[in-house]
Chain A
Amino acid sequence: MIAYTLRRLALFVPMVAGIVAVTFAIMLLLPGDPAVVLLGEDATDEAVRDIRRALGLDRPWYVRLGSYYADLLRGDMGMSIFQNQPVADAIGQRLGATLEVAVVALLLSIVLGVLLGIAAAIWRGTVIDGGCMLFAQLGVSMPVFWFGILLMYLLAIRLDVLPSIGRGDPLLFALGDLLRGRPGPLLDSLAHIAMPALTLGLTNAAVISRLMRSSMLETLGQDFIRTAHAKGLLPPRITFVHALRNALLPVVSIIGLRFGALLGGAVLTESIFGWPGLGQLAVAAISQRDIPLVQGVVLSFAIAFALVNLLVDLMYSFIDPRIRFE
Chain B
Amino acid sequence: MARPRIAGNLSLVVGGAIVLAILLFALLGPTLSGYSVEGMDMRSRFATPTADHWLGTDNFGRDLWTRMSVGARVSVSIALMSVGIAVLVGATVGLVCGYLGGWVDLVVMRVVDVFLGFPPIVLALAIVAALGPGVVNLTISLAAVFWTEYARVVRSVTLAQREMDYVTAAVALGASSARIVFLEILPNAIGPVIVLATLGLGTAIIAESGLSFLGFGVEPPTPTWGWTLAYGTRYLRSDPWLSTVAGLAIMVTVLGFNLFGDGLRDILDPRGVAQRVRRTPTQ
Quick check: which of B22-30, B31-39, B81-89, B116-124 contacts chain A, the rest being far away?
B116-124
Cβ–Cβ < 8 Å partners of A140 in chain B:
258, 281-283
- A140–B199 alpha-carbon span in the complex (Å): 11
- A287–B229 alpha-carbon span in the complex (Å): 19
A22 touches B259 (CB 8 A): no
Residue of A nearest to B124 (CB): A264
Given contacts A23-B126, A263-B122, contact A283 B117 (CB under 8 A): no
Cβ–Cβ < 8 Å partners of B236 in chain A:
149, 152-153, 157
* Chain A, 149-184, CB within 8 A of any chain B CB: 149-150, 152-153, 157
Cβ–Cβ < 8 Å partners of A15 in chain B:
113-114, 117
Cβ–Cβ < 8 Å partners of B259 in chain A:
137
A267 touches B121 (CB 8 A): yes
Cβ–Cβ < 8 Å partners of B127 in chain A:
26, 29
A306: interface (CB < 8 Å) = yes
Cβ–Cβ < 8 Å partners of A142 in chain B:
251, 254
A143 touches B254 (CB 8 A): yes
Instruction: Classify chain A: how many residues form its interface, as a range.
Output: 35 or more
Instruction: State the interface size on chain B (CB cutoff 8 A).
Output: 48
B122 touches A298 (CB 8 A): yes
- A23–B118 alpha-carbon span in the complex (Å): 10
- A131–B209 alpha-carbon span in the complex (Å): 28
B126 touches A149 (CB 8 A): no
A75: interface (CB < 8 Å) = no
Chain A interface helix/strand/loop/mixed: helix
* Chain B, 70-111, CB within 8 A of any chain A CB: 110-111
Chain A min CB distance to B156 (Å) = 15
A261: interface (CB < 8 Å) = yes
Chain B min CB distance to A22 (Å) = 6
Quick check: which of B129-137, B170-178, B181-189 contacts chain A, the rest being far away?
B129-137
- A283–B125 alpha-carbon span in the complex (Å): 9
Q: List 10 A-B contacts (CB under 8 A).
A: A22-B118, A140-B281, A141-B254, A143-B206, A157-B237, A260-B119, A260-B120, A264-B120, A264-B283, A302-B117
B126 touches A26 (CB 8 A): yes
Chain A min CB distance to B164 (Å) = 23
A261 touches B119 (CB 8 A): yes
Select the residue from A264, A271, A289 with max chain B CB neighbours within 10 A.
Answer: A264
B251 touches A265 (CB 8 A): no
Residue of A nearest to B255 (CB): A141
Cβ–Cβ < 8 Å partners of A298 in chain B:
118, 122-123, 125-126
Cβ–Cβ < 8 Å partners of B233 in chain A:
149, 272
Cβ–Cβ < 8 Å partners of B122 in chain A:
263-264, 267, 282, 298, 301-302
A18 touches B209 (CB 8 A): no
Residue of B nearest to A31 (CB): B132
Quick check: which of B44-52, B58-66, B211-219 contacts chain A, the rest being far away?
B211-219
